Structure 1
């Protein structure tokens, strides 16, 4: 059976950081999933595909929706796939000797994705299930304020790394840095601690993949933010850790809107302007500017 019984499922969802208001609905719906042979078989197949090649660096795996489903069942079905994968994920962590608190905080990103679904859509569900497959497959870990994904150096950064004289090159191991929501300020101290934790963690648990650089692809690295933010702001100081690659050809204007305001469905003129960052994002677009997702790297 890919899912625990209903009482146990509620406890599992709590352990995953799922908000209390979004526990009753998926627990109730789980009876329909486990009681329907066709749905149960589809779930078992989806779980098997997600955990196939556990621990390999593949950039995640597909987490399918349930064909023909609608409403809450459609929104929550990917959550059941992730929950069904938990035993294999935790066993993989134990095999590597991953500390329990790192495992717990990493897998709690599932709950963050449920909170984000409600923030963005106003309903229960799970956002970006494929992203969460990285956590369940042992490809990504939460280490302090930041998340680190086992990855490879790509063409966006390889030329810049070579120009700096580092030996690391295209397709060599690297750590991709991600900045999750709902984790407090992106302070220099918190980032320093995360990088220190990452150096030790991956040297200890993945010595076969020595990474000499960390990369980051984010709207937070767009240097245009320096026009609007104080020089000692956390975002500017985070930017200054990285050497940037080339500016991409196409802007992604709505990316900072989505992350800063939690929605792209509200007209820009109706969005709040209560913080410096709010005003920066909106004023830049209002003046005809564009925002870019920039890629950078730092030496570990």
Structure 2
């Protein structure tokens, strides 16, 4: 396959990769064991092994440059490289190999910062989780949203119990909304993004309390110069319309109450998060097995729309 011809559909990204050049990469000697350590689903392991790129091939050339792009911005939230574009022509597991090749660099960065082994591996195990999410969404093997895992590979995101937190710079719109609420907030200031991974059990208040407590100790300890002002979250779980359907004591509503809510955005992926591959456009065809599924389907059937919301809380 002529990989460079394929990349001409993404000229900015190709220019970025060519400007970096390659970096020597080595894949783990015992790939099956490493895949299982990263919680890659068992049904995907053999297919991943069969898709291993050959050294000297076009895919290997591209993997070298993708890894260099990640390593060159390791630990720097203010220096985002171009996003990895979807490249289905390279097969469903190409980016899995990119992240496997980047793994030694990420692990070395974690060790330099004194990140506990338990946190390091819990963070990187999100690779397998997002392969499980891909199967839930599409019914086939692959890695869901490869660009998302660049945060993990670059040392920006950490799993701390039930929640994940990533180091980021506060964007101007969110900063303005926080200032309007009477709290100082400047664009570009250090902040933390809050994320709710799938396949991790109930979103109980106790589990969330423990995660926020860990985050408030973890980041000052390992990134002492950053001093985040706030934590922000952008999620369909913060759509305040859910309060009209779910009990006030539900885990989702309790999670919403932690945040000061700002603007809303298109929540077009809400059905994918909840229903996975069963999501369809006709509300009457959606399953209604749980209170949440009934809420989403009934709201759409009544002509409503679901949104995501941005929320913030003090660090």
TM-score strictly above 0.5: yes
Q: State the shift of 1:264 in Å.
A: 6.5
Select the residue among 266, 271, 292 that pairs with 1:277.
Answer: 292
Q: State the shift of 1:178 in Å.
A: 0.6
Structure 2 alignment gaps of length 5 or more: 1-23
Q: State the shift of 1:269 in Å.
A: 2.4
Q: Go from structure 1 to structure 2 and tell me whether the alpha carbon gap of 1:246 and 1:124 turns closer, same or farther (over 3 Å shift).
A: closer
Aligned to 1:179: 196
Structure 1 alignment gaps of length 5 or more: none
Indicate whether 1:62 and 2:73 are aligned.
Answer: no
Q: Go from structure 1 to structure 2 and tell me whether the alpha carbon gap of 1:35 and 1:85 turns closer, same or farther (over 3 Å shift).
A: closer
Rounded Cα–Cα distance in structure 2 between residues aligned with 1:21 and 1:210? 42
Aligned to 2:4: none
Q: State the shift of 1:86 in Å.
A: 0.3
Aligned to 1:39: 59
Indicate whether 1:233 and 2:250 are aligned.
Answer: yes
Select the residue among 143, 155, 160 that pairs with 2:160.
Answer: 143
Aligned to 2:38: 16
Q: How many residue pairs align between the two structures?
A: 290
Aligned to 2:25: 2
CA RMSD of superposed structures (Å): 1.8
Rounded Cα–Cα distance in structure 2 between residues aligned with 1:178 and 1:44? 29
Q: Go from structure 1 to structure 2 and tell me whether the alpha carbon gap of 1:231 and 1:60 turns closer, same or farther (over 3 Å shift).
A: farther
Query: Is residue 17–residue 110 contact of structure 1 (8 Å, CA) maintained in 2?
Result: yes
Q: State the shift of 1:60 in Å.
A: 6.3
Rounded Cα–Cα distance in structure 2 between residues aligned with 1:155 and 1:143? 27
What TM-score does the superposition give when structure 1 sets the normalisation length? 0.91
Q: State the shift of 1:164 in Å.
A: 3.3
Query: Is residue 85–residue 136 contact of structure 1 (8 Å, CA) maintained in 2?
Result: yes
Q: Go from structure 1 to structure 2 and tell me whether the alpha carbon gap of 1:121 and 1:247 turns closer, same or farther (over 3 Å shift).
A: closer
Query: Is residue 65–residue 74 contact of structure 1 (8 Å, CA) maintained in 2?
Result: no
What TM-score does the superposition give when structure 2 sets the normalisation length? 0.87
Select the residue among 94, 113, 124 that pairs with 1:77.
Answer: 94
Alignment of 1:138-287 (within 5 A): 138-248=155-265, 251-252=266-267, 254-263=268-277, 266=280, 267-287=282-302
Indicate whether 1:101 and 2:118 are aligned.
Answer: yes
Rounded Cα–Cα distance in structure 1 between residues aligned with 2:241 and 2:111? 43
Aligned to 1:51: 71
Select the residue among 113, 125, 130 that pairs with 1:113.
Answer: 130
Q: Go from structure 1 to structure 2 and tell me whether the alpha carbon gap of 1:299 and 1:125 turns closer, same or farther (over 3 Å shift).
A: same
Q: State the shift of 1:25 in Å.
A: 0.9
Q: Go from structure 1 to structure 2 and tell me whether the alpha carbon gap of 1:137 and 1:119 turns closer, same or farther (over 3 Å shift).
A: same
Q: State the shift of 1:255 in Å.
A: 2.0
Indicate whether 1:296 and 2:311 are aligned.
Answer: yes
Q: State the shift of 1:37 in Å.
A: 3.1
Alignment of 1:126-137 (within 5 A): 126-137=143-154
